[in-house]
Structure 1
Amino acid sequence: MEEEIRKTNVIQKRQRGRPRKPRTVPQVDPEALRSAVREVRRIAKEYSSGDLAFDVQYIEKKRPRLLKNAGISVKDCDGAWEVHWNQEHTAMLTEKDQILIRRYISSREKIGFLRQTVGSIPNTQTRTIAEDIVLNGSNILDLTGKYGLSSRTLWRRKKEILEYIAIEYIKSFRKVF
């Protein structure tokens, strides 16, 4: 009996150092969370590079009649991130115009979702870090001096931020894109 206990103790590797801090584990399927984090990273990259804003501005400035024909009001879209449009009128448009409308709606909703979710992060320092990383596309190493935190801490915060946004994405975002 003592030999079995010794064998099990030998098999278990002793971990050195301070134990990890307990993290709040989200009640989400791990695979769904991983895919949502990938999607959020892709959306954040599109946002920080300006691709989403370009799509929205191009259609608002160059094709305002297309938005009017689709029943989209630019003034109503400023506060909320969900865009409402007249699907019957959109169905009568050409296929190319329908693609543009879908791209506009998708880009507008992505922009609104990211801004609203980053703005809803409860901790103010984490929120400002999220604005720099997710919305502005800043580099972790550039932010170490700005916040006085180590790069390891910022990497951990980035992971937590992306998981937070991904959980919100899973909860409330309809898959339009």
Structure 2
Amino acid sequence: MLLGTVTKPHGIRGELKVRPVTEQPENIARYRHLYLAVSDQGRKMPCTNIQARVNGRTVILKLEECSTREQAEQLAGMRIWVASSDLPSIDGDQFYLHTLVGKQGWTVDGEIIGMVRALMSAGGQDILVLGEESKEYLIPVTRKFIVAIEEDRIVFDLPPGLLEINS
């Protein structure tokens, strides 16, 4: 699961400024094993989290493998991940957003919307990107739209016109 992106070095001892993408950036401190990669599909380099602290809207992260400003400069732009197996367990009616990617989207009327291809965050609202190559739909992640999350599909009860404004 993506935690954030390294924006730049912090200080001279190899600390990193991180722009978090999690709702609770302070939780980054709980993950000892992190992975850095340039992109979602890139090879992920394992790293060890020594310390993380929230500083305003950023996280200051210290990795065992990064002890100088020069090393930290090389990591700018890298994305920071945690293994799904390291995430805390959640209650039955909760879900991690990343688990929705790859599921087929359906309406309550039985219409196939398309595969969830990506997640976006827009002004504090998480958005699912669904569709096939010729059509793309943007659906806000909200409990009132999601009726069910099953093994391979998500069932939506969408307000009239939502799909039409996306096409």
TM-score, with structure 1 as normaliser: 0.24
Which structure has the highest strand share of the two? 2
TM-score, with structure 2 as normaliser: 0.25
Which structure has the highest helix share of the two? 1
